[in-house]
Chains A and B, each alone.
Chain A
C-alpha cells in the first residue's frame, strides 16, 4: 500500500516537469498544419474532414483540433476503423495498423483530392510520409501524387520538407532541414 502511494507521488512529480511533445501529438499537429499548407480544390461541404485510420493515439490527439476553421470550413475529426468511408476524407492519415490496406485505399480514392499521410511504406502511394529522424519528425512530399489528386502544396510546406519527389525528375533534395 505504501509502495503504491509512493508510486503515485512519483508519477505526479514526473508529470509536473513533462514539457516534451509526444510523437502522436506531434503527428496530429502536423496533420492540422497540412490543412493550411495546401490549396484545396473548392468544396461544397461545410466541413473539412481529417480522418485517422489505424492509430488510436493519433486519433485521440487529433480531437484537440475539432471544430477549428480551415479556409471557411469546420474541421471535423473522424476516427475510423475501416477504410469504407474514406472517400469523404480531405486528409487521411493511415497508421501502422492499416498500412497493409494501402493498395486498397489507393484504389478507393483514385485521383480524388484527398491528401494521404502515412508513417512508413513507400512514398509512391501517398502524398506525404512522416519519418522520425533523431528527435525530429520529418516529412517527405510526393508532388507527383499531390498533383494527380489536384492538391497544391504551398511553398512553405515544400521548403520545410526533408525531400520532395517530383513528377519527372524522381527525387530532389531540398536544402536539408535539421541535420
Chain B
C-alpha cells in the first residue's frame, strides 16, 4: 500500500486512517470503536508531560491556595518561611529564591511582578481557588513561547466561567488559628452567549504564638514571637467574555506579619509587617481570519506594590520599604494552518516596564526621616516568535520554534526549542525535546548586582512517555536534565558577585493516574532528582526523592466524598549543609458530593498525624544556631460552607 501511495504522490499516511478512507461506508459503520480516555486531557499541546489539577480535585482534596495545588503535583514541592510560599522542583528552589524561575499564568496573563519576578502562590496570590477551573503544570523550559523567566516550566491557571456558578454563591470558611474567609461570587451566562463572573473575598487569620528554638535567649523572649503571625487579604476578580472577546481584571492585597528574624539587623519579636498588592487587567480578542488563519490579540496592564515596616537593630530603629511597579504590553499571535501538515505559529510582543521604583526609608526613634534612598529602573522589550509543528508522518511530529527578546538595557537573546513527538498509536505518546531559556536580571537584581547584572541561562533536555493503559488509567514517565549557566555567585578573590556559576540537575518522574466511572480517582507519583549547585556540591533544599499519593472516592450513601492525600518530602540539605530528614504528611478532606437546597460543604484536616517537621529556611545570619531550618505547623482543621442563592 505504501508503494501505491508513493506512486500516486500522496503525502505519507499511516495504514489505520488509510484503511478507513478506502472502506465503504456500509462496512465502516460496523467497525468497533474505542472511546477516548476518561482522564482529563491537556489543553496545551506541549512537548512535555503536563500535570493537571481540576476544580474537582481542588474540592476533593481541600486545596486553598495555588501552593497547595503545586504541592500535589509530580516532582514539585513548596517551602514556606512564614512570609511566602516558595516553589521548588527539578533542582530549582534554592532557599529564598522567589517563585520566579517558573512562569505562572492566569488565563494567559503572566502574573510575575516586575521588581522581583515573583509569582504569588499563597494567600498573596490573585485568585481564590473557588474561581479556578484547572491548573496545568508544563515542565520544561517555556521561553520559546513566553520569553523571560520560563526556565523550569509554566503553570497555567484557567479560571472558571460565570455560567459555572449561574447565580450568586456565598461562602464562609473557618479554620485553625482563628482563620476566617468570606466570599461572594456572582456568575451568569446570558442568552447571547455573553458570560460574566464577579467575585470578592476577604481572609483574616490571627495566627499563632510561635516558638523558635534558634532564637531562644532570655533577651529574645525565650524564642517566642507572640501575636506576630497574623495574615489578612482582600481579593476582587471580574471577567466578561462575549464571542472571542474577553476582559478580565484581578486585585489582591495581602498583609502578613513576619514572626521570624530574617536578617541580623531585624529585631526578634517586634512588629514586622509586609504588604503585597497585585492587580492586573487583561483584554484579549481571538478570532479566525478566514478558514486557515487564527489570530489572538492581547493587551495587558499590571501593577505591584510592596511595603514593609520593621524595627531594626540600629540607633535609628525604624525601617520601611516601599516598592512599586507598573507595566503594560501588547501581544499579537497568529496560527497559520495553510498547509495540511504544518501548524505555523508566529507573533510579536511589546512590553513596557515603565515604572520600577525601589524605596528604602529609615526613621529615628522620634519617627523623623534619617535616610531615604530611592532607585528607579525601567525597561521595554520587543519580542518576536515563531514555531512550526510539522506532521511529517501520521505518527510523527516535529516541533521547531524560537523566540527573540530584545530588552532596552540588554543584548538580544534567542530561545530555541526543538521537539520530536511520536505517537505509535492513539494511546501512546513519546516526546523528546531540547530547549534553551533565559531570565533577565530584574529591578531587584539590577539594584543588587549593579553593572554585573546579566541574564542567566538554562538548557534542558527531556524525554517523556505517556501511555493510556485503557480509558481509565494512564502512566507518565519522564527523564530530564537541566544545565544552568551564568548564575550569580560570590567570588572571594573579586570580593563581589559575578555571573560565572553553573549547575546541573538530572532526574526522572513516574506517575500513575486513574479515573473510574464509579467516581473513584487516584494519582500517585514518584520523582527522583539529583542536583548540583554552583559549587559542584549537592544542591540545598533539593530533596532527592518526592512522592505523592492521592485517592478520592464517594463514601457509601453517595452523598459525601472523601479525599486522602499523602506527600513524601525526601531528605534535603539546609544552607549550613545539615540534612533534614524526609517527612511524610497526610491530609484528609470530606466534601459534599452534591448540593442540598443549594448548600455544599467541605471539611479538611491538614497534617493528619500531627507530624513535627522542619523545612529549609532562607536565613543564614547566625550559623550554628539552627536558623537554617523552620518548624512547620502541626495538625490544622478547615471548614467551608457554600450557599447558592
Q: Which residues, 34 to 65 on A, are CB-close (under 8 Å) to B?
A: 36-37, 49, 51, 56-57, 61, 63-65
Residues of B within 8 A of A10 (CB): 467
Do B36 and A23 touch (CB < 8 A)? yes
B1 sits at the interface (CB 8 A): no
Residue of B nearest to A4 (CB): B477
A-B contact count (CB 8 A): 155
Q: Which residue in B26, B31, B427, B428 is a CB contact (below 8 Å) of A160?
A: B26
Segment of B13-21, B151-159, B261-269, B449-457 engaged in the interface with chain A: B13-21
Q: Contact mask A88-118 → B, CB, 8 Å, 1/0?
A: 1100000000001101100000000000000
Given A4-B479, A18-B425, A25-B426, A135 and B32 contact (CB-CB distance below 8 Å): yes
Minimum CB distance partner of B31 in chain A:
A21
From the candidates A30, A85, A135, name the one contacting B290 in the complex (CB within 8 A).
A85
Question: B576 near A: Cβ within 8 Å?
Answer: no
Contact across chains for B21 and A29 when beta carbons are under 8 A apart: yes
* Contact, CB under 8 Å: A88 / B291: yes
A19 CB → nearest B CB, Å: 8
Interface size class of A (residues with CB under 8 A): 35 or more
Bitwise interface map of B from 439 to 463 toward A, beta carbon under 8 Å scored 1, else 0? 0000000000000000000000000
* Chain B 15-59: CB-based contact to A (< 8 A → 1; otherwise 0): 011101101011011111111100000000100000000000000
Q: Within 8 Å of chain B (Cβ to Cβ): is A148? A: no
> Would you call B127 an interface residue if the criterion is a C-beta within 8 Å of the partner chain's C-beta atoms?
no
The answer to whether the Cβ of A172 comes within 8 Å of any Cβ in the partner chain is no
A100 near B425 with CB under 8 A, answer no
Contacting pair B33 A29 (CB below 8 A): no
Q: Which residue of A lies closest to B428 (CB)?
A: A11
In the complex, what distance in Å separates the CA atom of A81 from the CA atom of B475?
30
Q: Is B94 an interface residue (CB 8 A)?
A: no
Q: B129 contacts the other chain (Cβ, under 8 Å)?
A: no
Contacts of A7 in B (CB 8 A): 465, 467, 475, 477, 510
A123 beta carbon closer than 8 Å to chain B: no
A8 at interface by CB-CB < 8 Å: yes
- Bound form: Cα–Cα A16–B427 in Å: 12
> Does chain B have a CB within 8 A of A168?
no
CB of A85 within 8 A of CB of B288, answer yes
Residues of chain B lying within 8 A (CB to CB) of residue A23: 33-36
Contact across chains for A22 and B428 when beta carbons are under 8 A apart: no
Partner of A67, one of B292, B340, B479: B340
1/0 per residue B192-214: CB within 8 Å of A?
Answer: 11000000000000000000000
Tell me if B33 and A22 are in contact (CB < 8 A). yes
**Complex-state Cα separation, A160 to B26, whole angstroms:** 7
Q: Are A88 and B290 in contact (CB under 8 A)?
A: yes
B409 interfacial by beta-carbon distance below 8 Å = no
Question: Is residue B341 contacting chain A, with contact meaning CB distance below 8 A?
Answer: yes
Residue B430 at the chain A interface, CB threshold 8 Å: yes
Structural contact, B291 and A80, CB atoms closer than 8 A: yes
**Residue tally, chain B, CB below 8 Å to A:** 52
Q: Could you tell me the distance between the alpha carbons of A76 and B288 in the complex, rounded to whole angstroms?
A: 16
When the two chains form their complex, are residues B291 and A49 in contact, meaning their CB atoms are under 8 A apart? Answer: yes
Contact A14:B291 (CB < 8 A) given known A7-B467, A64-B394: no
Contact call A25/B16, Cβ cutoff below 8 A: yes
Determine how close the nearest CB of chain A comes to the CB of B588; give it in whole angstroms.
30
Interface residues of B in 401-426 (CB under 8 A from A): 424-426
Measured in the bound complex, the distance between the Cα atoms of B45 and A56 in whole Å is: 10
CB distance from A101 to the nearest CB of B (A): 6
Q: In the assembly, what is the distance between CA of A177 and CA of B28, in Å?
A: 12
CB of B288 within 8 A of CB of A104, answer: no
**Cα–Cα, bound, A11→B463 (Å):** 14
Min distance, Cβ A15 to any Cβ of chain B, angstroms: 3
Q: Is A137 located at the chain interface by the 8 A CB criterion?
A: yes
Tell whether, in the assembled complex, residue A85 and residue B291 are in contact, meaning their CB atoms are under 8 Å apart: yes
B359 within 8 A of A: no
Return the contact of B479 from the options A1, A57, A132 (Cβ within 8 A): A1
Of residues B13, B29, B243, B465, which shows the largest number of chain A Cβ atoms within 10 Å of its Cβ? B29
- Residues of B close to A82: CB separation below 8 A: 243-244, 286-288, 294
A37–B26 Cα distance when bound, in Å, is 11
B337 within 8 A of A: yes
CB distance from B32 to the nearest CB of A (A): 4
Contacting residues, chain B, for A1 (C-beta < 8 A): 479, 508
CB distance from B484 to the nearest CB of A (A): 22
B427 touches A18 (CB 8 A): yes
Interface residue? B379 (CB, 8 A): no
Residue B64 at the chain A interface, CB threshold 8 Å: no
- Are A11 and B391 neighbours in the complex by a CB distance under 8 Å? no
Question: Among residues 445 to 495 in chain B, which have CB atoms less than 8 Å away from a CB atom of chain A?
Answer: 465, 467, 475, 477, 479
Residues from chain A with a CB closer than 8 A to the CB of B34 are 20-23, 135
Measured between beta carbons, the chain A residues less than 8 angstroms from B428 are: 11, 14-15
Alpha-carbon separation in the docked complex, A148 to B423 (Å)? 42
CB atoms of B21 and A65 under 8 A apart: yes
Task: Tell me whether A14 and B427 are in contact (CB under 8 A).
Answer: yes
Kindly provide the distance from the CB of B145 to the nearest chain A CB, expressed in whole angstroms. 17
Q: Give the CA-CA distance A77 to B391 in the complex, in Å.
A: 15
Chain B CB within 8 A of A166 CB: no
Q: Tell me if A68 counts as interface (CB < 8 A to partner B).
A: yes
Alpha-carbon distance between A22 and B29 when the two chains are bound, in angstroms: 13
Partner of A11, one of B29, B465, B508: B465
B390 to chain A, nearest CB (A): 12
In A146-166, the 8 Å CB interface with B consists of 156-157, 160
18 new A-B contacts at CB < 8 Å, known A15-B427, A29-B28, A61-B17: A7-B467, A7-B477, A14-B427, A18-B426, A21-B16, A24-B426, A25-B426, A26-B20, A28-B20, A32-B20, A66-B340, A81-B286, A82-B288, A84-B244, A84-B287, A135-B32, A135-B33, A157-B25
A-B contact pairs, 9 of them (CB 8 A): A8-B465, A21-B34, A22-B33, A76-B291, A84-B243, A84-B287, A85-B288, A100-B189, A156-B25
